[in-house]
Structure formats: C-alpha cells, structure tokens
Structure 1
Amino acid sequence: MSDQYQAFAKSPIGKFVIKNLGLPSPTHLDRFQSATPVIQGAVLLGAAPSSSLTAEITQVLANIHANSYSGNNPELQQIAAKSGLNVGAYNEGDKESKFKAVVFDASGIQSSEQLHALYAFFNPIARQIQRSGRVIVVGIDPDAATTVQQAIAQRALEGFVKSVGKELKKGITAQLLYVQPGAEANIESSLRFLLSPRSAYVSGQVLRVSKAEVLDIDWVKPLAGKTAVVTGASRGIGEAIAHVLARDGAHVICLDVPQQQADLDRVAGEISGSTLAIDITAADAGEKIKTAAAALGGVDIIVHNAGITRDKTLANMKPELWDLVININLAAIERVNHYLLGNAGLNANGRIVCVSSISGIAGNLGQTNYATSKAGVIGLVRYTAPTLDQGITINAVAPGFIETQMTAAIPFAIREAGRRMNSMSQGGLPVDVAETIALFASTASTGLNGNVVRVCGQSLLGA
C-alpha cells in the first residue's frame, strides 16, 4: 500500500504545510542497488585516545575504497596508512565539508570522564552529515571489560547512539558495534552492512561481534554456492527475503503451505529457485526440509519467516487462536531446528535466521498470543546461540512497521501512527528486513551469533 502522506510531503504545498505545522517530514531513504560502491560519499574517521580497533576499521575502509578523511590525528593517520587507506586531511574548522558516514573508534574510552571524547568529535560535525548518512560507533563489549569503570563507559555508548539516531533526522542512521576481545578480524561484514544503503531502515541498534573463524568470500556474491530455505516465502517479507538471498548468490528453496503453491511457483521462477509446499507445523517438516535440500548439497541457511497473527484481546481470545499462533510462530521453529541440528541437517558454517517482531520486545494491544510467540523467538536465539558448534550461528531480526498486506489492513489512524512514530517518519519496506537477514546469512558473518536487530526505523515503540 502506498504512503499517501509521504507523497504529499514531497509536494510544494505539502512541504509548506508540514513545515508550518511541525509535522513529521519523511526523507527519501537511499537503498541498495547492485553494482554500486558500498558507500558513495566521504567518510570521516575519528578515534578516542588509545583505541584498539582503528587498524581493523581502516582496513575495512581500504577494502571498500572509501573516500576517507580525519582531523588532526597523526596516530590515526599512521595506522590508516599501514592498512593501505589514504586518509585525507580534514580541517576541523571547515563547516562546508559534508560526510556520508562518520565512524568513531570508542574502544579506548576507559572511564566516564573519557566519554567527553564523543562530544569533542561529534559536536562540531553533527550538522555536516548528509541525507541518508551513517553514524557508527565501535566499542568494546561491556561484558568483556577489564574494569567496572570501563564497562560503565562502554555501556554508556548505547545511550549516545540511540539519541543521535533520533536527533539527526534526514534518514541518517546511528549504530553501535560492540567487539569482543579477539574478534577484531570479524567486523568486516557488520561494518560493510552498517555503512551501506542495505541498512536504510535499521537505526539505534547494537551489533555484538564475537571471535570466530575468518572466511574469505566474494563480496559481490557472498552466498554463491549456498542453499537457503525461506519459510513463508510466497509473498510479503518472505518473498523479499527470497529475492535478496538469490541476488547474493544462493539457491533458494521457497517454502510455504500447499495452498500457496501458485505464488510459490511465481517467486521461485523469478529467482531460479525451487519450491517446497509443506505445513511447517507438521512433525516431519524438518525431515522434509533436509530431504529437499539434499540434492543441492544440504541446507546452508534457513530463514524462519513463516508467521501469522490472530489478534484479539486476551479476554476475547479463543484457545484455538492462542495455540495456532504459538504453534506456527514459535513451536514449529523449535521443532525444525531440533531436527536439523540433531540430524546433520545443517551444513558446517550454517546460518539460522529467525524473524521476531517489535511486538515481542514491547508488547502490543490485542496481540498477547503474537507478542508471546515473538518474544519466545528472541529467547530461542539467545539460548540456542551458545550451544552451537561447527561455525553455525543463529540470529534474529525484529521488524517494526513494514509496508505489507498485513499492515495495509490496519485501521487508518493506527497505521499512520505506526508509520510516523519512528526516527524515519515512515514505514519500512520488506526489502529492509531482507537485507538485514542477508547480513546474518552471509558466509562472512561468522562473528555474529545471538544478535537480535530491530528493523524499525528506530521506532518509538519499545525504544
């Protein structure tokens, strides 16, 4: 469904009305297009004194050929040179320069007093970040801090990033990348994603990178040779996921109920994939998935996207509606994972990606069944992650207001509130969820395990 308010906001009279009434003003968001650089525009790089992740950050910027700059920081410039990154000089009094991304290494911040480094770096350039720009702060995972003071200071970074994401507007996103000791070499897939238009509707989020094997990949086709299974693939978000994974090189098995066979055939035909029409809640669903993928080399990626809503207030909810939602949205994922992990149904370095929801984080009126199921998905990810081996990972995305047939059926007033009550002042697109899932599905994302990332434009709901 089209966003009529956003279309109105682009018109001359719309701009006039919105400006004078102080209404939300949606900005057109840059989104990924094939055969384009990771980032198009200048990158400003900064670092707190004694930060330890600058070498890895500059190496990634060198790998993507970023047009990079820094202020008067000889130590940073020297580290960048060793990484093969040519860092241009930025005059800190220059108010005319504009930046598409700003990356700050905050790993050296050891105490509350040293948090002033954030202010000193960002305050002078806060107005110089371009539309659809990126703010990325890189720090040390507070759980791995060596002192209480360091843990406090590093945890404080989260409040800074979430606030910046709400202040800067213009489609600018702000993210925090926490790196565990020894995981420095595992940051590239996350940093590429956060810098690029793939993260257009992701803001105010925290990604935690842990130590894992570093694998070389083709960044143009990061899923080349992989087999992915996408449940609920016949339409909406599932269809977008199938398209994005196929774009990145995977053979996608599109799974949905038999009643959706026609749409499954359409989606699979568009991406040269295959279909599997089964009931995901069936006791033998995991076995059928394994069998379907066997001829393709086995399952490398499974995306648990299938889900339903049956909204009623708790007092008016029939038991069958409760059980149906819990079974499809949560219990079926548990059963399929249990089978695949227990019966060699997922290849080494496999990826499990689950779709939760902002309702599972914040709750929602009339959605006790749905919110319970989606909160359970978050629990499934959290408690499964440390049990995995052979390089297998599990992560989740939690969509907010995404423009689908489901949200188009929401009453007008509630729908408009869902669209406007976020830092982007607009709903997201199915492709925004799909791009984040592709991050977790990537062969290079070995260090991402147990993460839950909201794709919600930094929604005020559950913020």
Structure 2
Amino acid sequence: MTNRLALVTGGTRGIGAAISKKLKDDGYEVVASYIGTPEGPNEFSKETGIKVIKFDVSYYEDCVKAIKQIEEESGKTIDILVNNAGITKDKFLHKMSVEEWNAVININLNSMFNVTRNVIENMRAKKFGRIVSISSINGVKGQMGQSNYSAAKAGIIGFTKAVAQENANKGVTVNAIAPGYVGTDMVKKIDPKILESIVAQIPVGRLADPKEIASLVSYLCSDEAAFMTGATLNINGGQHYQ
C-alpha cells in the first residue's frame, strides 16, 4: 500500500473515471477534478470514496488555488499527475469560430502548463514524480473536422517530450498515451450507423474498454516504469501506426 497522492483531471467521467478508480485500487490517495455541475461528481465520490474537486484547468489561478487546497488537505504534495481533462468542439476549419478554437486549445493544451507547472517543482525536490497525459490517435494522425482538437493533442506529445528531458535526472517520468476510440458513454451515444463505420476501421473490431487505458496509466505511474519517459504509447486496436 502506497501513501502517494494522485490528481486526475477530468477524473469523474469516462476514461478519467476509470483511471481514478484504477489508481485508487493500486493504493494511491486519489483526487479527481471536474468542471460543471456537482451532482454527477458527488455521486461518483460517494460510490468510489475518491475525493473530487471543482476547478477549471484552463485558468492558471484556478489551478494554483486548487492544488494548494488538495495538498493542504492531504498533508502531502502531489506525486502522480494524470492530465486527462479535455473537450471537443468539432467543425471544419472554414466554419470554426475563434471561441471554438480557443476553448479546445485552452482546456486540452494550455491545461498542460497550468496544472503541471504547479506540481513539477515539488516532484523535482523529492526526486519522484509520475506525469501521464492523455493525447489521442487524432493528435498523431489528424482528423478532419478536428483541427483544434488534433492540434491540442499533438501539442501534448511535444510537451511530454520536452518536459521528460528536463526532469529525467530528477526521478520524474513524463509520458503520453494516445488512445483510439474508447467505449465511453459519450462515444456510445454516437449514431449507431456512424459508430459501426468507426469500429469497421479498427482491426481488432471493437472499441477500447476504458479500463484498458487505465491499466496502461497504472503501469506508467508505477515504480516499475522508472526507465520509461518521453514516450507516447499508442493504444488503438491497430487502427494507426506511427
């Protein structure tokens, strides 16, 4: 049993919820962030025993206050950070508004700086840290209608490589995961005919289970993964190869 403290952004739904639950099962003290109404997150907390906290990862000062609160309440600094929070606002570029571009860049990419900047110094000081950021298959290969999302998710990969190099000699590993299509509630709500066409493009013939993504996060957060840093791990059922 470990007493390490883990923060999972966007950690109460979908892939994030699976990650939060897996890390709790691994013995970490887990805090999951959310944005929006508290009813769902509070129910998630009641069911799992995982602490939840509301803050907007796209605002730096929100992150400063929230991380300070998390660490004061737990009595320790964050050891594990999973940058998972993200949104989509899909539209062809020639129809996309500035607001739709900025919303996705701010939440999906600028949050990498906003959250990571507030944990990295303490990780360096204690010579241990695990940072895992959730990119996407569409950050690797691109996807029409997702110039904002693809740009942000590709940016996560570049961010990961740079921060990994900066902190490799401080016991801090920094890795990214690029999932393909995952069977979250959001994906399952896609029109059945469209979803069928998506699955047809996946060689293994199915969507990923969120637990499969969570298991990979679990490994990257473990002591056994100390030699892996700066990597982007594709988990997409053979849909795309780098």
Q: 2:206 aligns with which of 426, 431, 443?
A: 426
Match of 2:155 in 1: 376
1:355 corresponding residue in structure 2: 134
Q: Say if 1:403 and 1:429, in contact at 8 Å, map to a contact too.
A: yes
CA deviations on 1:367-413 (whole Å, 9 max, x unpaired) are: 00000000000011111111004201110111101011322243433
State the partner residue of 1:336. Answer: 115
Cα distance in structure 1, aligned partners of 2:130 and 2:160: 12
Alignment partner, residue 15 of structure 2? 237
Q: Within 5 Å, which residues of 2 pair with 1:132-211?
A: none
What are the within-5 Å matches in structure 2 for residues 404-415 of structure 1?
404-415=184-195
Higher relative contact order structure (alpha carbons within 8 Å, sequence separation ≥ 6): 2
Q: Show CA shifts across 1:268-293 (max 9, x none).
A: 23332212111111222332214312
**Higher Rg of the two aligned structures:** 1
Report if aligned partners of 1:354, 1:397 keep a CA contact under 8 Å in 2: yes
2:223 corresponds in structure 1 to: 443
Deviation at 1:345, TM superposition (A): 6.2
How far apart are the structure 1 equivalents of 2:171 and 2:79? 11
Distance 1:365 1:329 in 2: 18
Counterparts of 1:87-106 in structure 2, within 5 Å, are none
Alpha-carbon distance in structure 2 between the residues aligned to 1:370 and 1:411: 21
In structure 1, give the amino acid aligned to 2:63: G
Q: What is the RMSD of the two structures over their aligned residues, measured on CA atoms?
A: 1.7
When residues 426 and 454 of structure 1 are mapped into structure 2, their CA distance, relative to the original with a 3 A threshold, is same
User: Could you tell me how far 1:261 is from its partner in structure 2?
Assistant: 1.9
State the TM-score, normalizing by the size of structure 1. 0.49
Matched, 1:391 2:168: no
Equivalent in the alignment of 1:302: 81
> Take 2:19 and 2:59, find their aligned partners in 1: how far apart are those partners?
23
Query: Which one of the candidate residues 105, 125, 128 is aligned to 1:326?
Result: 105
Residue identity over aligned pairs, in percent, reads 32
Contact 1:234 1:260 in 2 (8 A): no
Shift of 1:451: 0.9
Which of 41, 45, 60 is the aligned partner of 1:283? 60
Distance 2:69 2:223 in 1: 23
| Equivalent residues of 1:232, 1:306 under 8 A apart | yes
Aligned AA (1:406): M
TM-score, normalised with respect to structure 2:
0.92
- State whether residues 306 and 328 of structure 1, in contact with CA within 8 Å, keep that contact through their aligned partners in structure 2: yes
Deviations for 1:250-309, whole angstroms, at most 9, x for unmatched residues?
11101111x242222222233322121111112223322143123422101010100000
Q: Measure the CA separation in 2 of the matches of 1:401 and 1:457.
A: 9
Task: Give the equivalent residue in structure 1 for 2:29.
Answer: 251
Following superposition, the deviation at residue 462 of structure 1 comes to 5.0
1:260 and 1:359, CA in 2 relative to 1: closer, same or farther beyond 3 A? Answer: same
Q: State the distance in 2 between where 1:434 and 1:277 align.
A: 22
1:417 paired residue number = 197
Counting helix residues as a fraction of each chain, which structure ranks higher? 2
Match of 2:39 among 262, 273, 282: 262
CA deviation after TM superposition for structure 1 residue 340, in Å: 2.2
Q: Secondary structure at the match of 2:17?
A: helix
Q: How many residues align?
A: 238
Would you say the 8 A contact 1:286–1:340 is kept in 2? Answer: no
Which ranges in structure 1 are unaligned for 5 or more consecutive residues? 1-220
Q: Residues of 2 paired with 1:243 and 1:362: CA distance?
A: 30
